Chain A
Amino acid sequence: MSDKTSFWLTWLSELEKIFKDKEVLLVVFGGLIFYALLYPLPYKESVPGQQAIAVVDYDRTHLARQLIRMADATPQVRVAARPTSFAEAETLLASGEVHGLLVIPQFFERDVYLGQPTHLSFAGDASYFLIYGNVVEGLLTAAVTLTVQTQVISSLMKGENPALIPGQVMPMQMKTIPVFNPTSGYISYVVPAVFVLILHQTLLIAAGSLTIKDRARRKLGLQYSSLVLTLPMRLINFVIIYLLFAMIYFGFFFQLYGIPHAANPIELLAFSMLFLFTTTLFAIWLGYLLPRPELVIVVVLVTSLPIVFTGGFVWPVESLPTWIDIISYAFPAKAGIQGFLSMNQMAAPLSSIWREISLLIGLCFFYGGWLVFRVLADQRSFSKTT
């Protein structure tokens, strides 16, 4: 048999392993499409809507009603209940009917116009942070708008120089502008990173379990092809199949969900290849570590949430304990998520993500080197026994 035919036969047999294995097909072709539809599902609305709040109005004046109308008009909150007492408001909060509370004290209007300090109490349900943030943002906006109005009115009534009023009302202004995800949408926040994780995790299951089955057949003497040829073929096959899915994910599905994708296509392709190459090596390495295919799924299941929360897109890496930050780079997913987010979402050129690129190359050498040693050791012991 010539080298050329054995080359093609190995390649075909490797392809066959993927396309004749129902379990691998289920994960790769079924799983990738299913997850791409399922994961974004909770965030279809993308920006949380108006949260229900209760208002306890002890003042019952024109100014108090104006404040309530202003709060209701913000995009973050809607006034859903007007309980007459604080105790009643607490019951509404406990049952989850409202998630926020505004208490307007007695003599609110009088104090504001007399220029006496007065307090407005806001409360938000901090069991849900996003809801809390929205409630507080909405109520603050309403309160600040009202304050500015009353300050302008009272300054004018006092006959002060109109040129100085802006500085008196607001000595300085701070405008904060969101960039890269201009609507602060949840879907653009979660999905780009989770998509990288889905590619990573399904690839681990597919290539990892396939490797274990291949080892089992070799052990029984049902498979002879040279590993030196087989493993690179497996690597290439998975990288090609997953490149296709990476294009569907970062192209078609990003488009479908209206997620910004700013990366240069050639650079994105190059980084995707590196990421998938590293991940497949990691998968095959796992396949050599674990004895049974279902254990790869167990490992993937157990590591998913830790990868999400150490990946840096939810919880800033600066706030992670250093040892956790370092250990979590063992998963190609972490450098992958950060690299893809920088390129696709933050329009960073390939040259500025050299850190992620070198991390992935480092992991390639680590897992690849380990595999080479392992395969050579196996072959030596195999030739000794035969």
Chain B
Amino acid sequence: MPSANTWTGWRALKEHPWLAALVIFLPPLSALLFIAIFASGTPHHLPVGVVDLDHTAESRLLIRKLDAHPSLDMRHPFASATEGADALHRGEIYALLIIPSDFGKELRRSTSPKTTAFYNSQYLLAGKFISSALMQTSMNFSAEVGVALRLGQGYSLPEAISAAAPVQPQITALYNAGMSYALFLVTSITPAVWQILIVASTLLALCWRLERAPLSSRFNERVGEILELLLPIALILWLQGILFLVFYFVFLGWSPEDNVIWIVFAMALKVLAIQSVGTLILAIVGNKISAFSLSSAYLAPAFAFMGMTFPRGDMNSLAQFWGNLMPSTHFMELQVAVADHGAPLLTFLPSLGWLAVFSLLLPLAIYRLPKQLEVNLKERISL
């Protein structure tokens, strides 16, 4: 192989500040940005409006109990349901609790008064969070009141306790004991962002190369030229992937079940997979801007198709098929299997296989790449 090729990935990183930004600075910065966004772990102090039509010690006690829940901020009283509803429409509060008149009286008479909370399910995450916090806290309140009622009816204390709550559910959140949104979302978003950075940097590097010197017409030399360009960038991007794992570990208390070596290995395959599809897209369209546009159409929605937020099992077959076309989908399946479930190799072997298959496209892509890209000064201010 001739050693004349000076257009390596290292040189591209030195001469192309945008490429250097995408490969060197943006991966850690974007991971840290998302860690900062979800730093609170779970939503805290979500504003909830209260219409207390009862104004008794019992209704105030219920409000105080609810306010003590870390997710709820009940200090938004409204005089009437209409005023409260207006605030709900304006988005000032995420939910509106209505305590009926006679709440206290009915509670003392043991006739099971009914409170109603309307929550904003447009903001689904916040809404569901509030709904379950309200349910859970009112069930506890209910159980306490139940004990007090029974004591008044002549039960002994242990009898009263077990009669008020005969079956006590113990709920365990497997694989994410603290139910931390930070852990859940950061470990899913970062691989999606990383994928975008990989495809964008691949296209920038290829365009940089093809605008400066023509590729060799002989396939073998061409492969060498492209690999010398892409592999140094792949190496740095792969190290960034490992840095993400360090971030998860340090900032999010990530504790993988199984050996992270599999994840690290899959990261290498993922970088090569995305570089391959990026190269293929440029090879097919043969035009810089169209290649960027198509890559963004293809990979920008990747997060939605990964199945972390909305389960893949509940998507229709077209959505599942589209998800399969993206390296991130297979990578996430592997990450969940290895880091969360501690699953055996057989479970995540298909994901590894999928990731490896994308790289088989690279020779074809290199073969089809245009020899050179023309520099059109009518379309750019600088080189």
A169-206, CB < 8 A from B: 169-182, 184, 186, 188-190, 192, 201, 205
A169 CB contacts on chain B under 8 angstroms = 112
- Cβ contacts A141-180/B at 8 Å (1 or 0 each): 0010011001100100000000110111111111111111
SS class of chain A's interface: helix, strand, loop or mixed? helix
Q: Are B112 and A184 in contact (CB under 8 A)?
A: no
Interface range for A = 35 or more
Known: A298-B204, A314-B125. A93 touches B311 (CB 8 A): no
Q: Are A127 and B107 in contact (CB under 8 A)?
A: no
Is A320's CB within 8 Å of the partner chain B? yes
Selected interface stretch from A33-41, A233-241, A364-372: A33-41
Name the residue of chain A whose CB is nearest to the CB of B138.
A174
Is B290's CB within 8 Å of the partner chain A? yes
SS class of chain B's interface: helix, strand, loop or mixed? helix
Name the residue of chain B whose CB is nearest to the CB of A287.
B381
Is B149's CB within 8 Å of the partner chain A? yes
Alpha-carbon separation in the docked complex, A305 to B168 (Å): 41
A39 CB contacts on chain B under 8 angstroms = 301, 304
Is B309's CB within 8 Å of the partner chain A? yes
Q: Are A43 and B116 in contact (CB under 8 A)?
A: no
Name the residue of chain A whose CB is nearest to the CB of B148.
A171
Q: Are B314 and A166 in contact (CB under 8 A)?
A: no
A180 CB contacts on chain B under 8 angstroms = 120-122
B196 CB contacts on chain A under 8 angstroms = 301-302, 304-305
Is A267's CB within 8 Å of the partner chain B? no
Chain B residues bordering chain A, tally (CB within 8 A): 134
Is B228's CB within 8 Å of the partner chain A? no
Name the residue of chain B whose CB is nearest to the CB of A137.
B132
Name the residue of chain A whose CB is nearest to the CB of B124.
A189
Known: A173-B113, A306-B30. A346 touches B120 (CB 8 A): yes
Q: Are A186 and B124 in contact (CB under 8 A)?
A: yes
Q: Are A44 and B319 in contact (CB under 8 A)?
A: yes
B353-378, CB < 8 A from A: 377-378
Known: A309-B185, A309-B189. A42 touches B315 (CB 8 A): yes
Out of B111, B134, B382, which one reaches A292, CB within 8 Å? B382
A130 CB contacts on chain B under 8 angstroms = 309-311
Q: Are B134 and A44 in contact (CB under 8 A)?
A: no
B122 CB contacts on chain A under 8 angstroms = 180-181, 188-189, 192, 313, 341, 345-346
Q: Are B112 and A120 in contact (CB under 8 A)?
A: no
B47 CB contacts on chain A under 8 angstroms = 318
Name the residue of chain B whose CB is nearest to the CB of A352.
B90
What's the least CB distance linking B35 to chain A, in Å? 11
Out of B132, B165, B303, which one reaches A117, CB within 8 Å? B165
Q: Are A23 and B293 in contact (CB under 8 A)?
A: yes
Name the residue of chain B whose CB is nearest to the CB of A150.
B166
Interface residues of B (CB under 8 A from A): 18, 22, 26, 30, 33-34, 36-40, 43-47, 62, 86, 88-91, 94-95, 103, 106-107, 109-128, 131-132, 134-135, 138-139, 141-143, 145-146, 149-150, 153, 159, 161-177, 179, 181, 184-185, 189, 192-193, 196-197, 200, 203-204, 207, 287-290, 292-293, 295-297, 299-301, 303-305, 307-311, 313-316, 318-319, 322-323, 336-337, 340-344, 347, 377-382
User: Which 9 A-B pairs have CB atoms at the shortest separation, nearest pair first?
Assistant: A167-B110, A178-B121, A174-B138, A126-B176, A126-B173, A166-B112, A171-B145, A291-B381, A181-B121
